Amino acid sequence: MNADSSVVAPAVLRLELADSVPSEIPVGAGIRLQVRVLGAARDLHGGRIEVMAGEETIATAQLMTFRDGLSETAGFTVTAPVRVETFSWMIRFPPQEIDGIVYAECVRPISSQIRPHRTSLAVWAVPSPVRMESRFAITVGAKSSGACALGGAYIEIHDETGMPVGKGILGDTPWPGTDALYWTEIGLPGPPREGPQHWRVSFAAAELELPHLGSSAEFSFTAVKPAEHRVAVTVTECDAATPVEETQIALGPYRAATDKTGTAHIEVPSGTYDLAVWKSGFEAASRTVEIAADVSVQFELIRLPKELTVWD
């Protein structure tokens, strides 16, 4: 009589996943698996589960619980491949003895398409207007859909003709208050022509450790002629003659706000402009002004009754 008292289990086991594997997975992302074994009449607690990539075992897990006729592992995470490809792995219950019973092997294939991480761009601190042929700066941020570190990657700026006009390198520290928005400030030459401008930011994402898709974004501003004259706008309250500070000023495309003396200074080229002033709690006022030399403009704002005040 054979001294080996173990017996081969007659039942045919099969494997299933608690949750299906997505059809697309970002490169290098974690894939959460929870494996169930069905077909055994007994608890398979302690049984081994393997995840195979070809001949290589890339993860193992143990069966932990038994309920409703199935044994299952706790959830565990396997790292997706770091190449863009279609991968096929095998979930394997290897031949093994559990509580004196030898169970035969069973397998279940899983597959998915690995895709690059996506990137997105943000552009802010764009001045407008920008004086022709005068340098200015913008701030550009880039973010990975996988929250990957992007420090050291390049950002390029192109003008309306597609000509490269600037380049920056993303810093190693994310923008304050964000977890993965890497940013840089880029100095740019002022455009040679007057009027609306539509420039483009590009992020090739070619030299990152994990594959990423590049991205681009457009930003706009207005280019104006170099300043020739200085305009002083003074705002006081009607009747009281007291300065009205923090009044918003719009002189054509130019913007400013009054200081504690009720005055704002704006430098502009010669021309005819619509000049508007406004502040919550006062009636707005406007006029057309011709600028041919340095000039001072006075406004007296009428305070609105409290019941008519609209707060910002």
Query: Which residues, 6+ apart, have CB-to-CB distance to 298 below 8 Å?
Result: 234, 236
Say yes or no: 108 and 167 in one domain. no
Residue 8 is predicted with a pLDDT of 59
27 occurs within a structural domain = yes
Query: Which residues, 6+ apart, have CB-to-CB distance to 228 below 8 Å?
Result: 268, 269, 270
Residue 133 is predicted with a pLDDT of 86
Say yes or no: 220 and 246 in one domain. no
281 occurs within a structural domain = yes
Residue 11 is predicted with a pLDDT of 66
Domains held by the chain: number: 3
CATH number of the structural domain spanning residue 192: 2.60.40.150
Query: Which residues, 6+ apart, have CB-to-CB distance to 166 below 8 Å?
Result: 156, 157, 186, 187, 188, 189
Residue with tokens 């407008």: 128
64 occurs within a structural domain = yes
Say yes or no: 181 and 215 in one domain. yes
Q: Which of 224, 244, 260 delimits the end of a domain?
A: 224
Q: What whole-number distance in Å separates Cα of residue 255 and Cα of residue 145?
A: 37
Give the tens place of pLDDT for each residue, 44-67.
999 999 999 999 999 999 999 998
Q: What whole-number distance in Å separates Cα of residue 30 and Cα of residue 132?
A: 50
CATH number of the structural domain spanning residue 72: 2.60.40.1930
Say yes or no: 246 and 208 in one domain. no
Nearest to 179 by CA among 207, 154, 203, 147: 147
Residue 1 is predicted with a pLDDT of 42
Contact 291, 272 (CB under 8 A): yes
Residue 9 is predicted with a pLDDT of 56
Asked whether the bond before 243 is cis by omega within 30 degrees of 0, the reply is no
Residue 204 CA neighbour count, 13 Å, CB half? 11
Say yes or no: 46 and 105 in one domain. yes
153 occurs within a structural domain = yes
Say yes or no: 275 and 204 in one domain. no
Residue 240 is predicted with a pLDDT of 84
Say yes or no: 250 and 159 in one domain. no
Contact 224, 257 (CB under 8 A): no
154 occurs within a structural domain = yes
Say yes or no: 88 and 183 in one domain. no
Say yes or no: 104 and 129 in one domain. no
Say yes or no: 103 and 153 in one domain. no
1 occurs within a structural domain = no
Residue with tokens 């913008």: 138
Contact 215, 173 (CB under 8 A): no
Query: Which amino acid would we find at residue 92?
Result: R
Say yes or no: 65 and 135 in one domain. no
Give the tokens for residue 84. 């863009």
Say yes or no: 87 and 138 in one domain. no
Stated pTM of the model: 0.76
CATH number of the structural domain spanning residue 258: 2.60.40.1120
Q: What whole-number distance in Å separates Cα of residue 266 and Cα of residue 252?
A: 11
Q: Which of 224, 242, 261 delimits the end of a domain?
A: 224
144 occurs within a structural domain = yes
167 occurs within a structural domain = yes
Q: What are phi and psi of 67, to 5 degrees?
A: -155, 145
Q: Which of 202, 224, 246 delimits the end of a domain?
A: 224
pLDDT in tens, the chain (312 residues): 445 555 555 568 999 999 999 999 999 999 999 999 999 888 999 999 999 999 999 999 999 999 888 999 999 999 999 999 999 999 999 999 998 889 999 999 999 999 999 999 999 999 989 999 899 999 999 999 999 999 999 999 999 999 999 999 999 999 999 989 999 999 999 999 999 999 999 999 988 999 999 999 999 999 999 999 999 999 999 988 899 999 999 999 999 999 999 999 999 999 999 999 999 999 999 999 999 999 999 999 999 987 655 554
Domain that holds residue 278: 229-308
Nearest to 33 by CA among 47, 16, 45: 16
